[in-house]
Amino acid sequence: MNVFVTGGAGYIGSVCVEELLNAGHVVTVFDNLTEGHRSAVDPRAKFVLGDLADRELVARALTDARAEAVIHFAAHALVGESMQNPGKYFRNNVANGLNLLDAAVAARVRKFVFSSTCATYGVPEKMPMDESLPQLPVNPYGESKLMFEKMLLWYRQLHGLEFVAFRYFNAAGASKKFGEHHRIETHLIPNVLKVALGQKEQCEIFGTNYPTPDGTCIRDYIHIVDLAQAHILALAPGRAGFFNLGNGSGYSVREVIHACERISGQPIKSIEQPRRAGDPPRLVAAADKAFKELDWQPKFPKLEAIVATAWDWHKRHPQGYRD
Ligand code: UFG
Q: What is the number of helices (H) and of strands (E) in the chain? A: 11, 14
97 in the same domain as 235: yes
Ligand 1 binding pocket includes 135 (Cβ within 6 Å): no
The residue nearest atom 6 of ligand 1, judged by CA position, is 188
Is 321 among the domain residues?
A: no
Domain boundary among 245, 260, 282: 245
| Residue 102 vs residue 125, higher pLDDT | 102
pLDDT reported for residue 183? 94
261 in the same domain as 145: no
Q: Where are the alpha helices (DSSP H) in 9-121?
A: 11-22, 55-64, 79-84, 86-89, 97-106
Q: Which helix (H) or strand (E) holds 272?
A: strand 270-273
Which of 35, 206, 303 maximizes ligand 1 atoms within 8 Å of its Cβ, making it the mutation to test the pocket? 206
The residue nearest atom 33 of ligand 1, judged by CA position, is 77
Closest CA to 27 of 67, 60, 54: 67
* Per-position DSSP letters for 186-222, written without gaps between them: --HHHHHHHHHTTSSS-EEEE-S-SSSTTSS-EE-EE
pLDDT reported for residue 3? 98
Q: Residue 25: pLDDT band by 50, 70, 90 thresholds?
A: very high
Closest CA to 222 of 248, 258, 193, 188: 248
Q: Where are the alpha helices (DSSP H) in the chain?
A: 11-22, 55-64, 79-84, 86-89, 97-106, 140-159, 188-196, 224-234, 253-264, 288-294, 303-316
304 in the same domain as 229: no
Task: Report CA(111)–ligand 1 centroid distance (Å).
Answer: 30
**What share of the chain in percent tops pLDDT 70?**
100
Q: Are 149 and 114 in contact (CB under 8 A)?
A: yes
Ligand 1 binding pocket includes 117 (Cβ within 6 Å): yes
Q: Which amino acid is at 56?
A: E
Q: Residue 4: pLDDT band by 50, 70, 90 thresholds?
A: very high
Q: Residue 244: pLDDT band by 50, 70, 90 thresholds?
A: very high
pTM confidence score: 0.98
Q: Are 249 and 223 in contact (CB under 8 A)?
A: no
- Residues with Cβ within 8 Å of residue 112, at least 6 apart in sequence: 69, 70, 72, 101, 104, 152, 155, 161, 162, 163, 164
Is 126 among the domain residues?
A: yes
Look up the CATH number of the domain holding residue 303: 3.90.25.10
Q: CB-hemisphere CA count at 13 Å for 139?
A: 23
Q: Check residue 102 and give left, alpha or beta (phi > 0: left; psi -120 to 50: alpha).
A: alpha
Is 141 among the domain residues?
A: yes
Task: Report CA(130)–ligand 1 centroid distance (Å).
Answer: 20
Is 322 among the domain residues?
A: no
- Residue 213's Cβ-count burial label (10 Å; 0-12, 13-18, 19+) is exposed
203 in the same domain as 89: no
Task: Report CA(31)–ligand 1 centroid distance (Å).
Answer: 24
Q: Per residue in 115-151, pLDDT tens?
A: 999 999 999 999 999 999 999 999 999 999 999 999 9
Is 74 among the domain residues?
A: yes
Is 60 among the domain residues?
A: yes
Tell me how crowded residue 186 is: count the other CB atoms within 10 A of its CB.
14
pLDDT reported for residue 284? 98
Mean pLDDT of 91-96: 98
Ligand 1 binding pocket includes 255 (Cβ within 6 Å): no
pLDDT reported for residue 12? 98
Is position 121 annotated as part of the catalytic site? Answer: no
228 in the same domain as 311: no
Q: Which amino acid is at 107?
A: A
Closest CA to 226 of 148, 285, 183, 145: 285
CA distance 67 to 65: 5
**Number of domains the chain is built from:** 2
146 in the same domain as 15: yes
Q: Residue 53: pLDDT band by 50, 70, 90 thresholds?
A: very high
Is 323 among the domain residues?
A: no
pLDDT reported for residue 255? 98
309 in the same domain as 267: yes
Ligand 1 binding pocket includes 302 (Cβ within 6 Å): no
Point out the catalytic residue in the list 11, 141, 168, 210: 141
Task: Report CA(276)–ligand 1 centroid distance (Å).
Answer: 9
Ligand 1 binding pocket includes 284 (Cβ within 6 Å): no
CA distance 106 to 100: 10
Which of 260, 276, 284, 307 maximizes ligand 1 atoms within 8 Å of its Cβ, making it the mutation to test the pocket? 276
191 in the same domain as 67: no
Ligand 1 binding pocket includes 113 (Cβ within 6 Å): no
Which of 76, 78, 79 maximizes ligand 1 atoms within 8 Å of its Cβ, making it the mutation to test the pocket? 79
Q: Residue 172: pLDDT band by 50, 70, 90 thresholds?
A: very high
Task: Report CA(26)–ligand 1 centroid distance (Å).
Answer: 33
Q: Per residue in 260-312, pLDDT tens?
A: 999 999 999 999 999 999 899 999 999 999 999 999 999 999 999 999 999 99
- Residues with Cβ within 8 Å of residue 160, at least 6 apart in sequence: none
23 in the same domain as 153: yes
Closest CA to 316 of 189, 190, 176, 200: 176
Closest CA to 23 of 49, 47, 48, 42: 42
DSSP class of residue 285 equals B
Containing structural domain, residue 27: 2-171+222-245
9 in the same domain as 154: yes
pLDDT reported for residue 212? 98
Is 283 among the domain residues?
A: yes
Look up the CATH number of the domain holding residue 160: 3.40.50.720
pLDDT reported for residue 108? 97
Tell me how crowded residue 50 is: count the other CB atoms within 10 A of its CB.
17
258 in the same domain as 234: no
205 in the same domain as 135: no
